Structures are given as C-alpha cells and as structure tokens.
Amino acid sequence: MTLSLAHIWRHPIKGIGTEALDSAHLEPGLPVSGDRAWAVLRDGAEETGGWQKCSSFLRGANGPSLMAVSATVTAQGIDLRHPKKTPLSFDPETEPQKLIDWVADLWPEGMPRPVKLVKAPKEGMSDMDYPSVSVLNLASLRALAHALGVPALDMRRFRGNLWIEGAEAWEEWDWVGRRLAIGSAVLEIAERNTRCLATHSNPESGQRDLDILPALKANWGHRDFGVYARVVSAGEISVGDAAVLL
C-alpha cells in the first residue's frame, strides 16, 4: 500500500501549543524546524543552556489544561490560544514574562511554578536526548480509538510531528532500524515512543477524559505509540508527499 505524509505538526514551546504546518524543512541533527524551540522552566529546575529532561519544564503530563493550547508562529513572535483564556501574542525574545503570566492559571496549584522561558539549543528540546522527529501512524490511531470505543481520537493528544497514512495499524513497529524517505528528506527510524499522561487530555478542553495508557497496555501489552526518527538527509517535506520505506 502506498504511504503518504498526511499531517505535519510542530510545537514552538515545549508542552504548550500545537501548530499544524503545510510543509517543513528537515536537516540532519535537528528536529522539525521550530519544533520545541522554547520551554518554560519550572521552579526548582536549573537552566543548563543545553538539552534537559522534560521534568524540568511545564508539560501536559502534569498540567492537562496546557494540552488545549494552540500556537502560531508569526513574523512578530508566537500567538497562543486557549478556550478559557484571552489570546496571547508575544515575542519570546523580548517579552517572556507575558507567557509566564499567561500560563500561570493553566498550571495546577501545588505544582512547582513556571519561572522562566528558556530558549532551547539549536537541536531543540525534545523528550529524547537527541534531536528527534516523531513519526506516527493514522491507522494505529484509528485502532486505538476503536479499542477505547470512541469514534475518533484527536491526533494532538500525541504531540507528534509527522503522521503517515496508508500503513497497516501498528506497522510502524517494523520500521525501527529502517529509513523513510519523505519528499526530498530521509529519516532513520530509531525507536518506539513510550507515552505519558499527556495523552489522557482532550486537546479541545484541556480536561482528562480518556484512559489512553491503560487501553494501550490492556490491548497491546505496552504504552508505546509512534516512533522516534533522526533526520539523515536534508530536504523539504509537504503534506501529501509520498513516504517510501528504504
């Protein structure tokens, strides 16, 4: 069956906001351009200037309401939207406090408070300690929705980058160790992606409403969904491009 790239997403601020793209540029040793370029440091975590574990930052696993934030990168900075908030437009370089103030009441009481917006190294601030691009399978998403007894699942629950159409459900497990050409870029599939509580939150409301992790464990014996990849050959990718396993 022919594979194709159905969706491209990036997340300009780690854990805070999803942005759909029509196209993107990929470079070896880098994430999707602009993905997780910023992150909000929590109280008690030390800024290192380099990659840090996700536990150092605000994230959807601990703050479900953050999952309902959408983002748009503009020439002036970043625009953020949330169903319970006044929209925010700010320049992360010169107006970081605007974001800290905006997310304060979206972050649960009793959790270490947001204290600083930090700029990620050029390699981004992915959950893995290497520059990764997450690749996901729409057929697997439909299979998981069926197991949960719901008509569909919002792909934003999984905060992935590239969604592939045309594969069999869970076929992506067989891609580990192989290369995937999309557009003029080539990626190498590195490993499976083990999921966290962020997936339980509805991206429309920011409320936890589905037990994704128990459903994965009960039906397939693990908590994995999607795979991580590294870019090995630079190129442009666009929605609708063919995806070819090499």
pLDDT digits (tens, 9 = 90+) for 230-246: 999 999 999 999 999 99
Rounded to whole angstroms, the maximal C-alpha distance in the chain is: 50
Q: What is the pLDDT of residue 202?
A: 98
Are 164 and 198 in the same domain? yes
Given 101, 119, 137, the domain boundary residue is: 119
What's the confidence (pLDDT) of residue 7? 98
CB of 38 closer than 8 Å to CB of 119:
yes
- Are 195 and 165 found together in one domain? yes
Picking from 157, 158, 63, the residue whose alpha carbon sits closest to that of residue 103 is: 63
d(CA 29, CA 12): 18
Q: Domain boundary at 74, 90, 119, which?
A: 119
Taking CA atoms, 120 is separated from 112, 178, 222, 240, 242, in Å, by: 20, 29, 31, 30, 31
Q: Going by C-beta distance under 8 Å and a sequence separation of 6 or more, which residues neighbour residue 228?
A: 128, 132, 133, 134, 135, 189, 190, 191, 192, 193
The confidence band for 27, taking pLDDT boundaries of 50, 70 and 90, is very high
Beta partners for residue 209, in sequence order: none
Tell whether 75 and 135 lie within a shared domain: no
For residue 42, give its domain range.
38-119
Bridge partners of residue 182, in order along the sequence: 185, 243
